[in-house]
Amino acid sequence: MTSTDVDRAKNAIRERVWTLLENERAVPPRVHGRIPAFFGAEMAAERLAGLDVWQQARVVKAVPDKAQEPARARALEQGKLLYMAVPKLAEAKPFYLLNPSELTVPPSEAASNKVAVSVGRSVGADEMRPVDLIVCGSVAVNRDGVRLGKGAGYSDIEVALLQEAGLISEKTVIVTTVHSLQVVDEELPETEHDFSVDLIVTPNEVIRCEPARRPVGLLWGELDPEKIEAIPVLAERF
């Protein structure tokens, strides 16, 4: 398969899952093009919080999507140090540090990507502590842990940045929280820059996958020049 064929295959699966979620009324309207903010995200976060790997984690990194907001809130409520990616990695320091001991608003508010801007502190990878657990969003994921995001590639870049900085290792657990309809029983196309997950958590079950595949770092040859220019931490290194 050429890269164009892979992109087309991925997009076809995304469109199918988005449409299924809407038809089954598992998400709010206008979910296409987004990480689905599925109904039941609170239950998935509660199930995640019951796992040993979550309870043992002291430092959590999470995506800024609405679907993962309940998991971010749980992390802060339980005293975990939380790093949240700046939406679209659009700042020179592409992560927010949310320290539960320093919050000026309740954790449930601080977990919002809109509030985190004002209560969190922007940090670069060189200022971060090693990450115990990563919470990512997905549009689709299979039981082997292969996932598809919304297609923008930001999560892949975030993980690659952390990998290059030595902030994640084989001990770092990668989790995605999704609706059960987002779990597909088929092979999903992958490229070299994609990462997989160790655990899938839905409102109804926990699926343990093969050990997650992590990128070795940024693959500059696969990054679009416009994407590099739009992400300050990449532009300054290019």
d(CA 78, CA 100): 8
pLDDT above 80 (res 110):
yes
Summarize the confidence of residues 90-104 as an average pLDDT.
Answer: 95
Nearest partner of 77 among 47, 107, 50, judged by Cα: 107
At residue 70, the pLDDT reads 98
Tell me the residue range of the domain where 94 lies. 3-235
pLDDT at 55 over 80: yes
> Which residue carries 């005293």 as its tokens?
79
Reported confidence tier of residue 178, pLDDT bands at 50, 70, 90: very high
Query: Measured on CA atoms in the order 21, 27, 33, 35, is the torsion positive or negative?
Result: negative
Can you give the pLDDT at residue 89?
A: 92
CATH number, domain with residue 209: 3.40.50.10420
At residue 153, the pLDDT reads 83
Buried b (16+ CB within 10 A) or exposed e, 149-160: bbeebbbbbbbb
Contacts of 224 (CB under 8 A, 6+ apart): none
Query: Contact, 223 vs 197, CB < 8 A?
Result: no
- d(Cα 177, Cα 43) in Å, to the nearest integer? 10
Between 49 and 117, the higher pLDDT residue? 49
The total number of structural domains that make up the chain = 1
What is the longest distance spanned by two Cα atoms in the chain?
51
User: Average pLDDT of the chain?
Assistant: 93
What mean pLDDT is predicted for residues 15-28?
Answer: 97
Rounded-to-integer distance, Cα 188 and Cα 127, Å: 35
Average pLDDT for 97-105? 95
N- to C-terminal Cα distance for the chain? Answer: 29
Higher pLDDT, 57 or 153: 57
